[in-house]
Amino acid sequence: MNPSFKDLINTIKKSKTKINIADITKAYQFAEKAYHGQKRHSGDPFITHPLHVANTIASWGLDQESIQAALLHDVLEDTPVTHKELAQKFGSKVAFLVNGVTKTGQVKLRNSKDQVFVENLRKMFIAMAKDIRVVLIRLADRYHNMLTLTAVPLEKQKRIALETIEVYAPLAERLGMGKIKGELEDLAFPFVHPKQYKTISQLFKTQIKQTKKHTNQVISQLKKILKKNQLDLQIHGRFKNKYSLYHKLQRSDIDNNINNIHDLVAIRIITKNQLDCYTCLGHVHKTYKPVPYLGVSDFIAQPKPNGYQSIHTKVFDHHGGVVEVQIRSQDMHSQAELGAAAHYAYSQAKKYTKDSIALEKGTAFKSPKKTEWICQLARWQDQVADSKEFKTSLTLDTLSHRIYIFSPKGDVYDLPEGATPVDFAFAVHSDLGLHIQRAKVNQKLVSLSHPLKSGDVVEIEKTKKKRKPNRDWLQFVKSSQAKAKIRKAL
């Protein structure tokens, strides 16, 4: 259902952001006039699209300029309105955002135009490095387009869905926006892999009934216990996204067996503060025995590089099954769901920034390290001469699924899926990569080409002297960083 302008105003009022409703009304009226007479493929008036995008942006708690730009984001491309006219009426920042959204919208997955695809990707990341809001608006735009994809001509549907899975969903993941990432993947899944989607849907349907029943019993018991201990919290079940389930079934350790997946329905406990998270964990383990070999993942003490914080534990229910429990504070939950958008909204609320966000200064996030990969990609245009190589690196590294690997000291490293101990060594330090003798994963010796999994603890045994890497390493390393350092050393 498309939100009305009244719905948008109500969403804005619910947010904590200081916004001038008169200025939002001015942008809406300008957009409505500019789009007058235009219709979408669905037959709806075109204004319904920017309204939906603006409503999403407002629900993320973003600022006035972001909402105005969301309402106006298609005017430069689809109407006679000029950049100069936008700047005069709404200010240079709104005009800059609209122009940035227009440029990033040129990213298309068309195999016959690889050069164009790569150049536009570069523009996209350069725009990100200047202002994160550009990409947040583009993600909201893509979300609504995916909701209405069935109205688009058939010949375009798969291409749009494919670029959603290969570019936009991974982008949302890298920005820590778990909720929108999952929704984009599930909306694209039936268009990209229709047969697999039907199979997964049926598998999901048959498996979920029993799993849900047992999970609800655990939720009911935990509610009573935690309430008895006077803990103020929310507790509910969270179904795994279908595309995420499909992807996980492909893993060698899962071997297409859904019974090997323990987070089909996860229990999510949301507390008031960090201390309550650990108190809840104690009560969970006192009531249900933790699964020894799966252990506890404490992403509160060691957050993921994209800022994600939560405690994950797997416990035995009273029916012999395994249930995953995720425990996090309300602030951590907002971060997990909205990532970069939550950071921006938080910075606005606390007045951490006065102007637009410059990611290279790290003003949107508590730590600039969380945005280094964005700025690095923007700089890559000066380092990579071959567009094909850039696209390959991008697909294998930044826009791939990520895994999180621990050093023996507990430091977390963010690597592309399928990464090896060699990738890990070069991620720690180029010197370590040139001193590799042997590698241990979870205290067991493995080959240097051994594929790592999230949660693995990797230890590199060093040689005394630096030596040249083996050229064969280029055949199995996954990160562009490792490949570049190996080539340089050779």
Q: Are the C-beta atoms of 412 and 305 separated by less than 8 Å?
A: yes
Q: Are the C-beta atoms of 66 and 12 separated by less than 8 Å?
A: no
- The active-site residue, picked from 78, 232, 389, 461, is 78
Query: How far is 450 from 415, CA to CA, in rounded Å?
Result: 14
Strands 296-298 and 265-271: unpaired
- Residue identified by tokens 């725009």 is 127
Number of residues assigned to the chain? 490
Mark whether 355 is an active-site residue: no
Q: Which two tokens stand for residue 393?
A: 């690196």
**Helix 132-147 with 340-349: angle, nearest 10 deg:** 130
- Check residue 218 and give left, alpha or beta (phi > 0: left; psi -120 to 50: alpha): alpha
Q: Which two tokens stand for residue 398?
A: 């930044």
Mark whether 186 is an active-site residue: no
Within 339-482, strands assigned E span: 402-406, 412-416, 436-441, 444-446, 458-462
State the amino acid at position 406 in one-letter form. Answer: F
Query: How far is 417 from 76, CA to CA, in rounded Å?
Result: 38
Strand partners of residue 459: 440
- The active-site residue, picked from 74, 77, 255, 461, is 77
* Widest CA span in the chain: 73
- Half-sphere exposure (Cβ direction) of 11: Cα atoms closer than 13 Å: 22
Closest CA to 264 of 318, 330, 217, 200: 200
The dihedrals phi and psi of 298, each to the nearest 5 degrees, come to -100, 90
Element (H, E) at 199: helix 194-228
Query: How far is 423 from 482, CA to CA, in rounded Å?
Result: 6
Closest CA to 15 of 353, 340, 344: 344
Within 20-101, strands assigned E span: none
3-state SS assignment for residue 477:
coil
The DSSP output letter for 463 is P
The dihedrals phi and psi of 272, each to the nearest 5 degrees, come to -80, -35
The dihedrals phi and psi of 261, each to the nearest 5 degrees, come to -100, 120
Question: What does each C-alpha distance from 116 to 110, 111, 119, 120, 394 come to in angstroms?
Answer: 9, 10, 5, 6, 15
3-state SS assignment for residue 270:
strand
Question: What does each C-alpha distance from 429 to 291, 318, 400, 434, 453 come to in angstroms?
Answer: 34, 46, 22, 9, 20
Please list the active-site residues.
77-78
